[in-house]
Structure 1
Amino acid sequence: MDTHSTSTHSTSKTPRTTSKAPLTLLGLGDMGTALARAWLTAGHPLTVWNRSPKRAEPLAGEGARVVDTPAEAVASATGPIVLCLVDDASVGEVLDGTDLLGKDLVNLTTSTPAQAQQRARWAEERGARFLDGGIMAVPPMIGRPESGGYIFYSGDPTLFERHRDALAAPADAKFVGEDPGHAALHDIALLSAMTGMFAGITHAFALVGPEKDLDRARFATLLAQWLGAMAGAADGMAAQLESGHYTEGVTSNLAMMTAANDTLLATAQDQSVDPRLLTPYMELMRHRVAQGHGDEGLAGTVGLLGNE
């Protein structure tokens, strides 16, 4: 998000007449701008502020009311005040000195669960109500329901219900709990799984890379189909973690998978591919088998990471 500041005069345009709920948005980086346009398109009166005024100028022409300072934006807000800034520290900096008593804060700034919890306490101490959010989308997905993007929310459930319709205009709104840190936790957990998937995709393409006569587009289609088919394993793992029975419904146990890993490593060696993206997880599986749990599925490896 854009966080460089210069001073300017206030720019505004008479908001379009509408019965939709008004919003105030602080932060107009790529994501903030996408959110702003989605709310304007949906007919919501919108007040915006950004450190760099040039980012706000196009939105003024599209119907947004642009103000000079965060204090002015907060003071005039009658609906949710949405923050989409660069990091948690910038939230405190931008709102420093503003009167938050009775205001509804919706923080869509990327943060850790602990930061979200601390920020919720910070808001409560200042008399504000608070929701934290985690955006599971990139800017081009915002305002396009067919893209599959959505936003996690956590914190005050009454606040979420009050503003649900407005919050759902840019992307589907999913409430994931009263703990303010749960939106960030869901966000980071899903991104962590995505990172692991990308590691596997990277390794797969490295394996086929030397093959001159291999159709990579066709391989990519097969790869995506296979990953989609395997994604259902998450449901089985969740059920096993919930019940504590890690051998329940297992079709491919750890002992078998660990033995098969030797073939994966041998193929990587034959193809001159560094296996470093796979070996940490393989070591985790091997360790669980060594503990005497070769008949389990993968759920037992979760506890080896210290969270079960």
Structure 2
Amino acid sequence: MTVIGLGLMGRALASAFLRAGHPTTVWNRTPAKAGPLLAEGARPAVTVGEALRASPLTIICVTDYQAVYDLFGASDTELDGRTLINLTSGDSAQARDAARWAERRGARYLDGAVMAVPPAIGTAEAVILHSGPRPDFEAHESTLDALGTVTYLGADHGLASLYDVAGLAMMWSVLNGWLQGTALLGTAGVDAVTFAPFARQIAAVVAEWLPGYAEQIDKGSFPAEVSALETDVRAMDHLIEESEAVGVNAELPRLIKAMAGRSIAAGHGGEQYPVLIEEFRTPRD
């Protein structure tokens, strides 16, 4: 096992492999960052080429995709026959480009995304996403299990990046809704700690709606089984009015209402909330 890139995440990845008993070679542009890992039993590599030759499997976790190209452009970095798993953050187009680049160099390539903070690496809470050829993933799955909950998404190398940003969209949306509610209740002296359990309960209830709503989206049919969008808009008005009345920022609910208003104007007022998928699919300036 080789790990290239020893920032906070790279060090966490290497440490997890070492704890699981995997011989691990490490390389970083600043060698001093390898110090704690060497104390855990890691083997240092002087060059990127030496690091690659130490193992048939290399995990890459560096600043960006350009850094990957810069590092592996050296004359001694022979990639033929090696498997690269790139956990560097980037977008889906970059992931697909990197896969083509690696293939031209004779390497097997998986792109990935880490859905966790460094301290969680090596626990079940750390979700590590992988996309690319299934045989290349399965060949190393037992080793990768040392990192946490390892998930294979499909052959398209861009899927890991897309899942990553989709997860971020979910995360920020949930947090922003909670912050809006916290700000509202704060005007009545209710603190965030008091509101949090109720907010968590609401989030759990809404999460239960997702499978049924997903079926509507995939079928392209949105019968109002629970509530029609035109009814939801009246509740949005209430949220906006209450926010403004107590002096809380109403930008977020106004944005949501604007999207719903466009959908209603297009004739979807009698359909259920997931019909807004068409608004999310339509880019706007």
Residue of structure 2 in register with 1:68 after alignment:
46
- Residue segments in structure 2 that go unaligned for 5+ positions in a row: none
Q: Select 1:194's aligned residue among 156, 162, 171.
A: 171
Answer yes or no: is the 8 Å Cα contact 2:114–2:129 preserved in 1. Answer: yes
Residue of structure 1 in register with 2:64 after alignment:
87
Supply the distance in 1 between the matched residues of 2:50 and 2:203 (Cα, whole angstroms).
49
- Cα deviation, 1:248-280, whole Å, max 9, x if unaligned, reads x63022011011111101100111011112222
Q: Quick check: 1:123 aligned with 2:102?
A: yes
Report the Cα offset of residue 217 of structure 1.
Answer: 1.4
Q: Which amino acid aligns with 2:10?
A: G
Residue of structure 1 in register with 2:5 after alignment:
27
Bigger mean CA deviation after superposition, 221-230 or 173-182? 221-230
Residue of structure 2 in register with 1:59 after alignment:
37
Residue of structure 2 in register with 1:228 after alignment:
204
Report the Cα offset of residue 208 of structure 1.
Answer: 1.6
Supply the distance in 2 between the matched residues of 1:303 and 1:89 (Cα, whole angstroms).
34
Report the Cα offset of residue 215 of structure 1.
Answer: 4.2
Supply the distance in 2 between the matched residues of 1:215 and 1:60 (Cα, whole angstroms).
46
Report the Cα offset of residue 162 of structure 1.
Answer: 0.3
1:137-176 aligned at under 5 Å gives the runs: 137-145=116-124, 148-176=125-153
Residue of structure 2 in register with 1:39 after alignment:
17
Residue of structure 2 in register with 1:289 after alignment:
264
Answer yes or no: is the 8 Å Cα contact 2:182–2:191 preserved in 1. Answer: no
Residue of structure 2 in register with 1:264 after alignment:
239
Report the Cα offset of residue 77 of structure 1.
Answer: 2.0
Q: Which amino acid aligns with 2:29?
A: R
Q: Quick check: 1:304 aligned with 2:271?
A: no
TM-score (norm 2): 0.95
Supply the distance in 2 between the matched residues of 1:114 and 1:144 (Cα, whole angstroms).
30
CA RMSD of aligned residues (A): 1.4
Report the Cα offset of residue 93 of structure 1.
Answer: 1.1
Q: Which amino acid aligns with 1:239?
A: E
Answer yes or no: is the 8 Å Cα contact 1:28–1:50 preserved in 2. Answer: yes
- Cα deviation, 1:210-229, whole Å, max 9, x if unaligned, reads 223x2431211111121121
- Cα deviation, 1:235-255, whole Å, max 9, x if unaligned, reads 1221111111111x6302201
Supply the distance in 2 between the matched residues of 1:120 and 1:307 (Cα, whole angstroms).
29
Report the Cα offset of residue 306 of structure 1.
Answer: 2.7
Q: Which amino acid aligns with 1:241?
A: I
Q: Which amino acid aligns with 2:172?
A: T
Supply the distance in 2 between the matched residues of 1:35 and 1:216 (Cα, whole angstroms).
34
Percent of aligned positions with the same letter in both sequences? 37
Residue of structure 1 in register with 2:83 after alignment:
104
Residue of structure 2 in register with 1:242 after alignment:
218
Answer yes or no: is the 8 Å Cα contact 2:239–2:253 preserved in 1. Answer: no
Answer yes or no: is the 8 Å Cα contact 2:126–2:147 preserved in 1. Answer: no
Q: Which runs of 4+ in 1 moved over 4 A?
A: none
- Cα deviation, 1:11-43, whole Å, max 9, x if unaligned, reads xxxxxxxxxxxx100011111111111110000
Q: Which amino acid aligns with 1:111?
A: G
Write 1 or 2 for the structure with the bigger share of helix.
2
Supply the distance in 1 between the matched residues of 2:27 and 2:50 (Cα, whole angstroms).
9
Query: How many residue pairs were aligned?
Result: 281
Supply the distance in 2 between the matched residues of 1:278 and 1:24 (Cα, whole angstroms).
48
Answer yes or no: is the 8 Å Cα contact 1:200–1:278 preserved in 2. Answer: no
Q: Which amino acid aligns with 1:105?
A: L
Q: Which amino acid aligns with 2:271?
A: E
Supply the distance in 2 between the matched residues of 1:250 and 1:291 (Cα, whole angstroms).
20
The secondary structure found in structure 1 opposite 2:131 is strand
- Seen in structure 2, the aligned counterparts of structure 1 residues 92 and 306 have a Cα distance that, compared at 3 Å, is same
Report the Cα offset of residue 307 of structure 1.
Answer: 5.9
Supply the distance in 2 between the matched residues of 1:215 and 1:106 (Cα, whole angstroms).
44
